[in-house]
A and B are shown apart, each in its own frame.
Chain A
Amino acid sequence: MNRKTGLIQWFSGFLPVFLFIVSWEIVGRFNLFPGQFFFPPFSAVVKEGYHLLTNGVLGKNFASSLIRVLIGLFCGSVAGIFVGVIMGWKDMVNKALSPIISLLYPIPALGWLPLLMLWIGINEMLPIIIIFICSFFPVVYNTFTGIRNVDKKYIYAAETLGASNMTILFKVIIPLALPNIFTGLKLEAGMSWRVLIAAEMVAIPTGIGALMIQAESLVRVDIIMVCLIILSIMCLIFERIFALAEKHMVGRWSSHA
């Protein structure tokens, strides 16, 4: 790809975003939407975002949300991968856990909220556990599928080469299941932010979700829009982080496996 083609591609990707922002600015500035307070122009949203950043409100709430997502997602993913691997590896564990997982998996993470509010109360653990639940089940499912889908021929080959069960698991099966595991992780990376915002809006007094609900009560559409932009960017960044990790770890061979 030469420099000119690269520039054209970049510009054609940027153009729709640019047009969207310009349209937004025009609609907001010329009051084309009923009620100026309900549709501030893009420049007003940016200005408010800058204001929230400098007075520390955005930073404080964002940090709360980020820490909750990081802890919940990390614990949910690690536990999900662990359980998924054991279920995929050992038939007996699969038979024991599969009915429970099948029963609990369809329940939306937010469906647990009222129960958890009663069980653990409204504190920092609540959003972390909601995110844990949100990421745990899909990661279990994807990891299990990945482990089970590893072609038996690789296991036979490793066995004839004298590998122990642990070597086969860690050097053959898990690496070959990574594409599936990453599919689960990428999905849940964005989903955990969405679930967190909903939980904070309903039950937690701090975080981006709580900031949105406070803004709603004050009819501050500009603040809500700042929060939505941050949410969108964070979902995108988290998904990209896992996509990059996947590319780094399995990109060299996965599409040909």
Chain B
Amino acid sequence: MPEIRLVKVSKHICYELDLTIQNGEKFVIIGPTGSGKTTILNVIAGVTDYKGNVYIDDQCVDRLSPGKRGVGYLFQGLALFPHLTVFENIAFGLKAKGMEEGAIRERVFSLMEMMHIKHLSDRYPHMLSGGEKKRVALTRSLAPSPQILLLDEPTSSLDHQTAKYLRNELIGLLQKLKITTVYVTHDLREAEEIADRIALLSHGKIEQISTPKDLFFNPQKESVSRFTGMPNIIECTQSRVITSGLVEVVSDEMTMILPYDGGNIKKIAIPPEDIYISDVKPPGPALNRFMGKVEEITRDNSMVRVKLSIGTKTLLAELSKGAFDEMTIEKGKEVYVVIKMRRLRYVE
């Protein structure tokens, strides 16, 4: 599977962008809407003109037509041909390559079987559900056996359950195919589940390229930690497995019990919205509960951000305006701080 290299590529918002995607890598590009994610895919696929150079396995492909770049592209809008049936859509690329009728049928049916869409063979795209359309479009992009797969927000506009199901299938499929994949999304969780490496793109510039863990735990810029929403990173001085699935970690004055099924934990990242604060003692056991002091309060339209100190540590909590107004919290006041355990991220 090939390596992809972009050298000083400029197009739309992207300016002199350099990027190397390694052989067989699952590379996720993440960033807000309008940051240039789709532009990068279009440049790699060659469906748009651009300045700069694109190399696939050290071969400059700037003058190659999209069909000769060995790229399978799942467009965000899917672009299923509405006048062709599911079978004809999937067979389109194979026919274009001049494959024999019998071989086309065999390849299309084996792919449809693999993607569980054989029963949809004679339907037109408008007769399919959102999830089925995505599967068909993915199957079509895989049909000509591309060496590079470009996926533009493949789970967007699907309901939560279908998106989750498709994502899991996609992860399995990509592991099986071992194909160089460039995956565009704006969903951090999705990026984390899929990526070998993540590039965070903002206003056409790459802010950071790193493994998912490094993106959360070693943000190189303020903008990265703002995007990942993980300003609370705690170094653990001790960590021990209590029972299978539970770990006790100590970080200076804080001792926490966390659900974790791995080894020793070195770092924890806590999302600000998962830090609960209260001016009265919360009911229940004192597990993961601490006393903290309010250092700073900042408000915007719907959220209130509270900077807290717990011993020598500083944490940022984020509350809805309604929840904050129900309490009497002011700067300098002692409050109860509870850390929810649902969405913590760890480094071993």
Contacts and interface: CB of A to CB of B under 8 A. Distances in A.
Interface stretch (B64-72, B191-199, B310-318, B327-335): B64-72
B338 to A, nearest CB: 48
A159 B97 CA distance: 11
Contact of B71 (A151, A160, A172): A160
A160 B73 contact: yes
A178 B82 CA distance: 12
A176 B67 contact: no
Interface residues of A, number: 24
Interface string B35-77: 0000000100111000000000000000001111101110101
A172 B84 CA distance: 9
B144 interface: yes
A63 to B, nearest CB: 38
A153 B81 CA distance: 10
Contact of A156 (B72, B79, B83, B93): B79
B140 interface: yes
A103 to B, nearest CB: 33
A253 B75 contact: no
Contacts, number: 79
Contact of A253 (B82, B93, B96): B82
B103 to A, nearest CB: 15
A161 B91 CA distance: 10
B83 A159 contact: no
Nearest to A153: B79
A163 B47 CA distance: 13
A164 B83 contact: no
Contacts of B140: 161
Contact of A159 (B66, B72, B143): B66
B195 to A, nearest CB: 23
A156 B48 CA distance: 9
B126 A162 contact: no
Contacts of B126: 253, 256-257
A157 B67 contact: no
A178 B124 CA distance: 17
Contacts of A158: 81, 92, 96
A178 B79 CA distance: 18
Contact of B124 (A153, A156, A162, A252): A252
B67 A160 contact: yes
B96 A160 contact: no
Contacts of A151: 79
A250 B81 CA distance: 13
A175 B83 contact: yes
Contacts of A162: 66-68, 93, 96-97, 144
Interface residues of B, number: 29
A38 interface: no
A154 interface: yes
Most buried by B among A154, A157, A167, A172: A157
Given A163-B96, A257-B82, A157 B75 contact: yes
Given A156-B45, A157-B75, A252-B124, A163 B81 contact: no
Contacts of B79: 151, 153-154, 156-157
B219 interface: no
A239 B210 CA distance: 63
Most buried by A among B47, B75, B82, B97: B82
Given A153-B75, A162-B67, A257 B83 contact: yes
Interface string A136-178: 0000000000000001011011111111100100011001101
A253 B67 contact: no
A253 B83 contact: yes
B56 to A, nearest CB: 14
B125 interface: yes
B145 to A, nearest CB: 11
Nearest to A172: B81
Interface string B94-109: 0011000000000000
A68 B247 CA distance: 90
A158 B67 CA distance: 8
A78 to B, nearest CB: 21
Contacts of A159: 46-47, 65-67
Contacts of B68: 162
A85 to B, nearest CB: 16
A256 B83 contact: no
A160 B82 CA distance: 17
Closest 3 CB pairs of A and B: A256-B126, A162-B67, A161-B93
Given A159-B46, A254-B82, 15 more contacts: A153-B79, A156-B42, A157-B75, A158-B92, A159-B47, A159-B67, A161-B92, A171-B92, A172-B81, A176-B83, A250-B83, A253-B125, A256-B126, A257-B83, A257-B126
